[in-house]
Amino acid sequence: MGSLRTVDTERIKEKEHVVQDGMDISGHWNRMFEQRVIWDYPTDLMDKITSLEGGESFGWCYQCGQCVPVCPVDIVGSYGPRKLFRQVQTGMDLLQSPELWKCTTCMNCLRVCPKEVNLIQIMPAVREQAVLEGYVPPELQKMFENCAQYGNPLGESPRKRADWAKNSDVPIPIMSQLNRPVQVLWFVSDYPSYLKRGIDASRALARVFQALGVDFGILGTEEKCDGDSQRLAGEPGLFEELATHNIKMFKKYKFDKVVVTDPHALNAFRKEYPKLGVRFDVEHYTQFLAARLSQLQPMLRKEIRYKVTFHDPCYLGRHNGEYEAPRKLLRGIPGVQFTEMWRCKENGYCCGGGGGGMWLDSFMADHVSERLSERRVREAVETGAEVLAICCPYEVSRFEDAVKSTGNEGRLIVRDIIELIDESMRG
Least distance from C-beta 236 to ligand SF4, angstroms? 18
Instruction: State the Cα–Cα distance between residues 74 and 160, nearest whole angstrom.
Output: 40
* For ligand SF4, the closer CB: 82 or 231: 82
Nearest to 259 by CA among 314, 300, 297, 202: 202
Which stretch, 71-79, 132-140, 170-178, 395-403, contacts ligand SF4 (CB under 6 A)?
71-79
Least distance from C-beta 390 to ligand SF4, angstroms? 19
Least distance from C-beta 125 to ligand SF4, angstroms? 14
Examine residue 172 and tell whether it contacts ligand SF4 (CB under 6 A).
Answer: no
Name every residue whose Cβ is closer than 8 Å to that of residue 420 and which is 6 or more positions away in sequence.
304, 306, 308, 330, 333, 336, 387, 389
Least distance from C-beta 106 to ligand SF4, angstroms? 4
Cβ atoms of 187 and 259 within 8 Å: the answer is yes
* For ligand SF4, the closer CB: 124 or 151: 124
* For ligand SF4, the closer CB: 79 or 135: 79
Among 81, 137, 198, 227, binds ligand SF4 (CB under 6 A): 81
Among 43, 51, 63, 157, binds ligand SF4 (CB under 6 A): 63
Nearest to 116 by CA among 196, 197, 61: 61
Among 103, 185, 333, 420, binds ligand SF4 (CB under 6 A): 103
Among 48, 93, 115, 297, binds ligand SF4 (CB under 6 A): 115
Cβ atoms of 14 and 31 within 8 Å: the answer is yes
To the nearest 10 degrees (0 to 180), the angle between helices 395-405 and 196-212 is: 130
Among 46, 49, 52, 71, binds ligand SF4 (CB under 6 A): 71
Examine residue 107 and tell whether it contacts ligand SF4 (CB under 6 A).
Answer: yes
Instruction: State the Cα–Cα distance between residues 311 and 390, nearest whole angstrom.
Output: 6
Least distance from C-beta 313 to ligand SF4, angstroms? 13
Examine residue 183 and tell whether it contacts ligand SF4 (CB under 6 A).
Answer: no
Instruction: State the Cα–Cα distance between residues 185 and 81, nearest whole angstrom.
Output: 39
Examine residue 122 and tell whether it contacts ligand SF4 (CB under 6 A).
Answer: no
Cβ atoms of 80 and 119 within 8 Å: the answer is no
Examine residue 358 and tell whether it contacts ligand SF4 (CB under 6 A).
Answer: no
Alpha-carbon dihedral of residues 63, 69, 75, 78, nearest 10 degrees?
10
Which stretch, 58-66, 240-248, 399-407, 408-416, contacts ligand SF4 (CB under 6 A)?
58-66
Examine residue 351 and tell whether it contacts ligand SF4 (CB under 6 A).
Answer: no
Instruction: State the Cα–Cα distance between residues 38 and 57, nearest whole angstrom.
Output: 20
Instruction: State the Cα–Cα distance between residues 140 and 125, nearest whole angstrom.
Output: 16
Examine residue 375 and tell whether it contacts ligand SF4 (CB under 6 A).
Answer: no
Q: What are phi and psi of 338, to 5 degrees?
A: -90, 135
Going edge to edge, which strands form the sheet with 255-260?
A: 216-218, 182-187, 255-260, 282-284
Least distance from C-beta 209 to ligand SF4, angstroms? 34
Cβ atoms of 408 and 381 within 8 Å: the answer is yes
* For ligand SF4, the closer CB: 95 or 330: 95
Least distance from C-beta 84 to ligand SF4, angstroms? 7
Examine residue 124 and tell whether it contacts ligand SF4 (CB under 6 A).
Answer: no
Examine residue 393 and tell whether it contacts ligand SF4 (CB under 6 A).
Answer: no
* For ligand SF4, the closer CB: 73 or 425: 73
Q: Which helix (H) or strand (E) holds 376?
A: helix 372-382
Beta strands in 215-287 (DSSP E): 216-218, 255-260, 282-284
Nearest-5° Cα angle at 222, 178 to 217 = 35
Which stretch, 10-18, 56-64, 134-142, 295-303, contacts ligand SF4 (CB under 6 A)?
56-64
Among 76, 100, 104, 374, binds ligand SF4 (CB under 6 A): 104
3 state DSSP class of 414: strand
Among 46, 49, 72, 416, binds ligand SF4 (CB under 6 A): 72
Examine residue 105 and tell whether it contacts ligand SF4 (CB under 6 A).
Answer: yes
Which stretch, 21-29, 112-120, 148-156, 203-211, contacts ligand SF4 (CB under 6 A)?
112-120
Examine residue 65 and tell whether it contacts ligand SF4 (CB under 6 A).
Answer: yes
Cβ atoms of 110 and 95 within 8 Å: the answer is no
Cβ atoms of 259 and 384 within 8 Å: the answer is no
* For ligand SF4, the closer CB: 10 or 116: 116
Which residues of the chain form contacts with ligand SF4 (CB under 6 A)?
Answer: 61-67, 70-73, 79-82, 103-109, 112-113, 115, 117, 119
